[in-house]
Amino acid sequence: MALSPQWLDELRARITLSSVIGRTTRLTKAGHEFKACCPFHNEKSPSFTVNDQKGFYHCFGCGAHGDAIRWMTDQRGLSFMDAVKELAAEAGMEVPAPDPRAAQRAEQQAGLHDVLSAAQDFYRAQLDAGEGAKARAYLGSRRFDAHTLERFGFGYAPGARQALKSALAKFPEAMLIEAGLRIAVDDKEPYDRFRDRLTIPIHDARGRVIGFAARILDPEKKDAPKYINSPDTPLFDKGRTLFNLHRAGPASRQSGRIVVVEGQMDVVALAAAGIADAVAPMGTALTERQLEMLWRLVETPILCFDGDAAGQRAAMRAIARALPMLRPAHSLRIVRLPAGMDPDDLLKRDGAQAMEALLGAARPLIEVLWEHERDALPLATPEDKAGLKARLMAHIETIADGDIKALYRRELMERFSAFAFPPREPREWRPGGRGGLAAPRGNPANLARLRRRTGNRDALSAAIVAGLLRYPSEIARHGDALIRAGLADPRFSVLIDAQDGGAVLETEALGTILAARGLAAPGPEEYAALRFGFLADGVSEDQARADLAQAVGLLVERPALDAALAEATARFERDLSEGAYAEQQRLLKRKLEFDARLRQMASARSGGPSGAAPSTTAE
């Protein structure tokens, strides 16, 4: 519905902002304004002001700012149109209908609200009647206090198939069916949907009844579902509704959190224990719309699902649904309850303090995602570990935000690398091995050469950065391998982040990005010893890309070789054993072979004289 700016300005002019805010926030007069402790964040001294003349509120602490409509959407959790309608009713203004069909729908919905309100009154009265004894006994077993029972509006639906129709005879049968209270099947007589069940009303964000949840009371009816909800109607859409949102929304403004549990009775149990900021989906996995509703209240809602396998599957479904929607500062935190327990079980066993402790220790989404995939399947073989990496990458690829996608890739790949390639324990040398022979000493020239190499400029890294700048499309091809290698040159990270973030992959643009991070594109002086073909003119693009791939392979291989050689050298200098010496010499030989391969490759297509090799080694 399109509302003109003039109409909205008239609505704001007719509303006294301080009277709207003063219903839920204690205001103190301060000159021409009002002051209060900000309802959007915890503070001890007032920094929240309300100015009726200007028609806005502002918090100098957290920056919250807006008019009467913004207050209703942010503090009350209403949609824009619901906020406008509520303020318009208070101001005595009619919300303009865009066309007759919209007006007809509004009138129809108003009638359905009347039907559902009358149904709630009927169910509530039946709870206190003789037939409601079973429902009262069940509520007694849950040990809910009278205030909780009254606040959540528990009722009882009688077992007779026509009980509700008789009680609501003033409403047409068609309205009862459209409201989801009656079921019509083919040519048979319609019958009541909820029969011999405990009922609990479902409200919209304005606190109006839009449907019901109903729990079975007869344990002998094992084939019947334990809980049923109203079907989708013009008022009730289970994918766009969160149970208890109209109460939890204002409570979340004080607590700074919102807790999502699996079922309506979990919400009631938490509220009875003093945890008022809990909601529940309507028997289905969280939807995108419900996640957006939660993010309007807090940036990191807490998902608290049962400790059984079904609860953990529900948590992972929510995580999978949230990943494509992640945006800066907006995520989820996850609480895993003890095995086999739901919130009510934990409250009864350990009390509200234990529940608060669990909520306070809620874990980040990325940590739960990593542990779930790591523990999902055995990881005994390289193929198993490759499967773990593939699953992680599949999750990462669903993230739409470029910055978050790049950060998730880096952190999850770092976790994967640390898990898949743990450092090896040093082998202990025992004196007397090899017949007690004296340990030979290493070649001093080789050891000195090794020490010089570790302190020299990394020409190979610089050459590959230059190659990626010349052929930017290769960044995506080699990004994962370069991240896993844990290279010291920060330019690799900047280039990979730029690619993940959707930056323009052109040489000049990437050079500008490096400069913005205080880094320079590598010049020829950094890699003068390595005349790679991919850095030479006149080489075909296909050949240059193939040469670059070989160079990346060498670069990724080198850190592991360097680390193993350094470890073997240190062990030899410490132990002076024959075994340590042999290992050090074997790795040193591999290192020399590596350098020879690098020299050969760097001179093969360098554009210089045939067979000419650089005068210095790659260091």
Strand partners, 84: none
Task: Please state, in angstroms and rounded to a whole number, the distance separating the CA atoms of residues 57 and 49.
Answer: 6
331 and 231, same domain (yes or no): no
Q: Mind listing the pLDDT tens digit for each residue in 285-334?
A: 899 989 988 988 889 999 998 877 777 888 899 999 999 999 998 999 99
**What 3-state DSSP class applies to 570?**
helix
595 lies in which domain range?
Answer: 433-604
Quick one: pLDDT band at residue 454, thresholds 50, 70, 90? very low
83 and 135, same domain (yes or no): no
Residue 492: inside a domain: yes
378 and 361, same domain (yes or no): no
469 and 548, same domain (yes or no): yes
**CATH code for the domain in which residue 305 is found:** 3.40.1360.10
Q: Mind listing the pLDDT tens digit for each residue in 505-536?
A: 788 888 888 888 888 888 877 776 666 777 87
149 and 204, same domain (yes or no): yes
Amino acid at 461: S
Task: Name the residue with higher pLDDT: 72 or 53.
Answer: 72
469 and 553, same domain (yes or no): yes
Mean predicted confidence (pLDDT) in 121-150: 93
Q: Is the pLDDT of residue 610 over 60?
A: no
Residue 516: inside a domain: yes
Is the Cβ–Cβ distance between 288 and 306 less than 8 Å?
Answer: no
Alpha helices in 431-540 (DSSP H): 444-455, 459-470, 474-485, 490-500, 507-516
Q: Tell me, what's the pLDDT at 373?
A: 93
Crossing angle of helices 541-575 and 474-485, in 10° steps, is 0
Residue 597: inside a domain: yes
Q: Tell me, what's the pLDDT at 250?
A: 84
Element (H, E) at 302: strand 302-305
Average pLDDT value over all residues in the chain: 82
How many helices (H) and strands (E) would you count in the chain? Answer: 25, 16
Q: Is the pLDDT of residue 438 over 70?
A: no
180 and 70, same domain (yes or no): no
Query: Among residues 176, 207, 236, which one ends one of the domains?
Result: 236
Q: Is the pLDDT of residue 618 over 60?
A: no
591 and 466, same domain (yes or no): yes
**What 3-state DSSP class applies to 142?**
helix
Report the 10 Å Cβ neighbour count for 222.
8
Q: Is the pLDDT of residue 609 over 60?
A: no
**CATH code for the domain in which residue 214 is found:** 3.90.980.10
Residue appearing with tokens 């009467």: 68
Amino acid at 375: D
Amino acid at 474: E
3-state secondary structure 384-399: HHHHHHHHHHHHHHCC
End-to-end CA distance of the chain: 68
Task: Name the residue with higher pLDDT: 428 or 68.
Answer: 68
Of 487, 518, 513, nearest to 500 (Cα)? 513
Residue 618: inside a domain: no
Who's near 440: CB < 8 A, 6+ residues apart? 578, 581
Task: Name the residue with higher pLDDT: 179 or 448.
Answer: 179
Task: Please state, in angstroms and rounded to a whole number, the distance separating the CA atoms of residues 617 and 257.
Answer: 59
346 and 379, same domain (yes or no): no
Amino acid at 1: M
Quick one: pLDDT band at residue 616, thresholds 50, 70, 90? very low
Is the Cβ–Cβ distance between 420 and 387 less than 8 Å?
Answer: no
Residue 619: inside a domain: no
Residue 609: inside a domain: no
Task: Please state, in angstroms and rounded to a whole number, the distance separating the CA atoms of residues 63 and 2.
Answer: 29
Is the Cβ–Cβ distance between 92 and 110 less than 8 Å?
Answer: no
Q: Is the pLDDT of residue 356 over 60?
A: yes
Amino acid at 443: N
DSSP-derived pairing of the beta strands 209-216 and 227-229: antiparallel
Query: Among residues 236, 263, 279, which one ends one of the domains?
Result: 236
Task: Please state, in angstroms and rounded to a whole number, the distance separating the CA atoms of residues 164 and 178.
Answer: 14
259 and 363, same domain (yes or no): yes
Tell me the HSE value of 286 on the side-chain side, using a 13 A CA sphere. Answer: 32
Is the Cβ–Cβ distance between 197 and 78 less than 8 Å?
Answer: no
Report the 10 Å Cβ neighbour count for 121.
15
Quick one: pLDDT band at residue 115, thresholds 50, 70, 90? very high
Q: In this structure, what is the dihedral angle of CA atoms 469, 473, 475, 479, given to the nearest 10 degrees?
A: 180
Task: Please state, in angstroms and rounded to a whole number, the distance separating the CA atoms of residues 286 and 302.
Answer: 12
> Which CA distances in Å does 101 have to 96, 104, 106, 210, 428?
12, 5, 9, 21, 84
Is the Cβ–Cβ distance between 17 and 57 less than 8 Å?
Answer: yes
Query: Among residues 236, 254, 280, which one ends one of the domains?
Result: 236
337 and 377, same domain (yes or no): no
**CATH code for the domain in which residue 86 is found:** 3.90.580.10
Q: Tell me, what's the pLDDT at 173?
A: 92
What domain count does the chain have? 5
Q: 312-336 as b/e, with b when 16 or more CB fall inside 10 Å?
A: bebbbebbebbbebbeeebbbbbbb
3-state secondary structure 547-580: HHHHHHHHHHHHHHHHHHHHHHHHHHHHHCCHHH
Tokens of 539: 């080489």
Sign of CA dihedral 256, 262, 266, 267: positive
467 and 594, same domain (yes or no): yes
Q: Mind listing the pLDDT tens digit for each residue in 173-229?
A: 999 999 999 999 887 899 999 999 999 999 988 889 999 999 999 877 777 888 999
Q: 25-63 as b/e, with b when 16 or more CB fall inside 10 Å?
A: bebeeeeebbbbbbbbbeeeebbbbbebeebbbbbeeee
Of 45, 43, 72, nearest to 57 (Cα)? 72
Residue 425: inside a domain: no
Residue 427: inside a domain: no
Q: Mind listing the pLDDT tens digit for each residue in 466-490?
A: 888 888 888 888 887 787 766 778 8
Quick one: pLDDT band at residue 264, thresholds 50, 70, 90? very high
Q: Tell me, what's the pLDDT at 342?
A: 87
Q: In this structure, what is the dihedral angle of CA atoms 303, 309, 310, 316, given to the nearest 10 degrees?
A: 50
Is the Cβ–Cβ distance between 138 and 198 less than 8 Å?
Answer: yes
Percentage of the residues of the chain whose pLDDT score is greater than 70: 86
Longest dimension (CA), the chain: 106
